Amino acid sequence: MFRGKKGEGEVLVLMNIIQIVLLIMIATGFYYFLTDVKENTLFEKSYASRDIALLLETAESVPGDIEVYYTEPKFDVGAYNYKFSENILRIYEGENYLYSIYYPFFLDTQLYETFESYDFKEPAAFVISKVKGNLEVKEHGSIGWEADKNIDCPAVDSTKIIKNNLAIIIEDNSLEGIKDYFVNNPKIVFVKKDEGENAIAEDTNFVLILDKQLNNKLDIEIPDDQQSEKLGCLIGNSILAKFPDADITIKKSTDKKLTTNKEGLAVGLIIGEELLQDVSGLNNAIKEGMEAYYNE
């Protein structure tokens, strides 16, 4: 009788331990699920698993050789780990392989006798390669995606289009060449072109101020005037088209040199020295931005 009770007690203890272990596993799984949802990684992993698996199947079906470079501009592919094994793609974070998101993919064994198991730890990108019947998935370095860096310009018509007076001021002698280009270029069609701060008057149609700074930055300063903002924006976009790595900002300024000609346009360009290495390209970009405003 005593032995029977002892045995029953041991069974109850064992059952309690099993229940506790199951509760811990369920709670842990639920915790990781909530964490994934909160950090928006559940959607990313689910999306990527399907996307890569379908891309792998597509590569198999394409006649001839093919290499497909895969990355994802909407989120960081390298934030996760990836495992290709037994016709299953698994994506997981850190060492949490148990809580991976997985998606199956079809492997045509008649065409591809072997497909190795691949493990990738936070890869920058993938290359899915099918060459002469060999199907492979390889890690690849970062694949650059060119961002659309256009500045949003005010959606207004150009109204300050009279070209009687142009005043150009340089704050650094190294910018003399740019000033000369605009003063002496017959394609810059202004009736009168003057230099220096004394050339600025209330009726000056366009004031262009040039200054210099370090790196590849370009600061565009404008008065509190929507037309000047539009012109500065168009010049900035033209420079971006020529110098896509330029770091451009537009900001309003109360500098007297920019606010004196209240009825005209005023733009200040503080140009990074890296951009000044191609003065000809910079001159053309500024001119094209001006033409975009005046010839609208």
pLDDT tens per residue across span 55-94: 888 888 888 788 888 877 667 788 889 998 888 999 998 8
**Confidence class of residue 5 from pLDDT cuts 50, 70 and 90?**
low
H helix intervals, the chain: 2-38, 41-61, 176-184, 226-242, 256-259, 279-294
Average pLDDT in the chain: 83
At residue 186, the 3 state secondary structure works out as coil
Cα of 13 vs its chain's centroid, Å: 58
pTM: predicted TM-score of the whole model, two decimal places: 0.53
Q: Which CATH superfamily is domain 165-294 in?
A: Zn-dependent exopeptidases (3.40.630.40)
State how far the Cα of 88 lies from the Cα of 102, in Å rounded to an integer: 7
pLDDT number for residue 10: 64
Tell me the domain boundaries of the chain. 41-140, 165-294
Count Cα atoms within 13 angstroms, Cβ side, for 273.
6
Question: For residues 247 and 216, is the Cβ–Cβ distance under 8 A?
Answer: yes
State how far the Cα of 145 lies from the Cα of 153, in Å rounded to an integer: 23
Q: Across residues 169-174, what is the average pLDDT?
A: 92
pLDDT tens per residue across span 133-145: 778 888 876 444 4
Q: Which two tokens mark 22?
A: 């199951």
Q: What are phi and psi of 121, to 5 degrees?
A: -100, 105
